[in-house]
Amino acid sequence: MDAIDQSILRALQSDSSRSIAELAEIVGASTSSCHRRIKSLESAGFIAGYSAVLDPQRLGLKLHAFVEITLESQSRGAMESFEKAVCGFDDILECHLTTGQADYILRLAAHDLEQFDRVHRECLSLLPGVSAMRSSFAIRTIKQWRGYPTG
Partner DNA sequence: ATCGATTGATCGATGGCGTCCATAATTTCC
Partner DNA sequence: GGAAATTATGGACGCCATCGATCAATCGAT
The residues of the shown chain that bind DNA, judged by CB under 7 A, are 2, 4, 19-21, 29-33, 35-39
Nearer to a second copy among residue 121 and residue 134 (C-beta): 134
**Shortest reach from residue 145's CB to DNA, in Å:** 25
- What span, in angstroms and rounded, lies between the C-alpha atoms of 120 and 52? 28
Name which of DNA, a second copy, none residue 39 binds, using a CB cut-off of 5 to 8 Å depending on partner kind. DNA
Name which of DNA, a second copy, none residue 47 binds, using a CB cut-off of 5 to 8 Å depending on partner kind. a second copy
Name which of DNA, a second copy, none residue 127 binds, using a CB cut-off of 5 to 8 Å depending on partner kind. none
Provide the binding-site residues for a second copy, judged by CB under 8 A.
9, 12-17, 44-56, 58-59, 61, 64, 66, 83, 86-87, 90-102, 104-105, 107, 109, 134-151
Nearer to DNA among residue 19 and residue 101 (C-beta): 19
Nearer to a second copy among residue 25 and residue 107 (C-beta): 107
CB atoms within 10 A of CB 126: 12
Among 22, 77, 143, CA closest to 85: 77
**Shortest reach from residue 52's CB to a second copy, in Å:** 4
Among 129, 3, 151, 114, CA closest to 69: 129
Among 21, 44, 47, 15, CA closest to 34: 21
Among 40, 34, 32, CA closest to 8: 34
Name which of a second copy, DNA, none residue 32 binds, using a CB cut-off of 5 to 8 Å depending on partner kind. DNA
**Shortest reach from residue 35's CB to DNA, in Å:** 5
- What span, in angstroms and rounded, lies between the C-alpha atoms of 93 and 97? 14
Question: What are the CB-based long-range contacts (under 8 Å, 24+) for 50-59?
Answer: 50/16, 56/109
